[in-house]
């Protein structure tokens, strides 16, 4: 098959995201014993408290979309990630143009794996502080 320009471009983008992910994964995604997890969730791993996100200590599937929201408030996050530039107003990942404040957290943030911002499926925005 002929060279896939779109795929090549996507691969280049993915490669750069992987590099970024590596750096950030090194920062917050660490071995917690039973599995990898976030440094800021360390206390849950110490107590084997899977229930905090999964709703059960013997999880067989991923947590509900609203699990994160029990501790993290999207309105506060939206204020925290407000874009200063008027032109970039709607590039706020927690209150964005297309979906408002309703993107499930796990679309962009992984607990046991690194994830990339969903916005970058189409855009080339900079999310320097993204916790992957």
Partner 1 sequence: MSNVNQLGRRNFIKGLGAAGAVMAAPALATSVSAEGVKWDETVEIAIIGSGFAGLAAGIEASRQGCKSVTIFEKMPVFGGNSAINGGLFAAPRTPMQKEKGVDDSVERMVSDQLKAGRGVADEALLRHVASHAMEALQMTMDAGAVFHPYLQQLGGHSVPRTYQTTVSCGAGITQPLLRECRKVGVNMVSRTKFDGFIVDEAGKVVGVKLKKGYYFGEEDTGEAINVRATRGVIMATGGFAQNVDLRMAQDPTLTAEVGCTNAKGATGEGMFEMFRLGAIPVHMAHIQSGPWASPDEGGFGYVSNYSIFNFPHSIAVNRMTGKRFMNEIADRKTRADAELSCRDAKGEALPPIMITSYEHANQHPNCKKVLKYGVGWKFDSLEALAKHFDVPLKALEAQVEEYNGYVKSGVDEQFGKNMGKAKGKYLKAPFTVVRLWPKVHYCQGGVQTNTKAEVKDSFTGKRIEGLYAAGEVAGGMHGVSRLGSCSIPDCMVMGMTAARSIMGA
Q: Is 2 in the site for partner 1 (CB under 8 A)?
A: yes
Tokens of 112: 């046991």
Tokens of 63: 């947590």
Q: Is 71 in the site for partner 1 (CB under 8 A)?
A: no
Place of tokens 């013997």: 58
For the chain, the residue count is 132
| CA-based max dimension of the chain | 53
Sketch the per residue contact string, 30 through 59, with partner 1: x for CB under 8 A, - otherwise.
------------------------------
Distance CA 73, CA 69 (A): 6
Return the residue of 42, 62, 70, 76 that touches partner 1, per CB under 8 A. Answer: 62
Q: Is 109 in the site for partner 1 (CB under 8 A)?
A: no
Tokens of 62: 């991923």
Contacting partner 1 within 72-91 (CB under 8 A):
87, 90
**Around 26, how many Cα atoms within 13 Å sit in the side-chain half-sphere?**
5
Q: How far is the CB of 51 from partner 1 (least distance, A)?
A: 19
Judged by the rule CB under 8 A, the positions of this chain that interact with partner 1 are 1-7, 9-10, 61-62, 65, 87, 90, 97-100, 102-104, 107, 120-125
């Amino acid at each position: 098959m002929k060279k896939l320009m779109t795929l090549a471009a996507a691969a280049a983008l993915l490669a750069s995201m992987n590099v970024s992910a590596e750096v950030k994964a090194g920062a917050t995604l660490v071995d917690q014993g039973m599995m990898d997890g976030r440094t800021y969730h360390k206390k849950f791993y110490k107590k084997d408290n899977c229930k905090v996100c999964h709703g059960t200590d013997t999880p067989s599937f991923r947590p509900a979309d609203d699990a994160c929201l029990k501790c993290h408030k999207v309105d506060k996050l939206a204020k925290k990630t407000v874009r200063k530039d008027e032109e970039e107003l709607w590039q706020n990942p927690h209150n964005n143009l297309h979906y408002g404040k309703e993107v499930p957290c796990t679309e962009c943030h992984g607990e046991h794996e690194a994830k990339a911002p969903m916005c970058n499926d189409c855009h080339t925005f900079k999310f320097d502080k993204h916790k992957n």
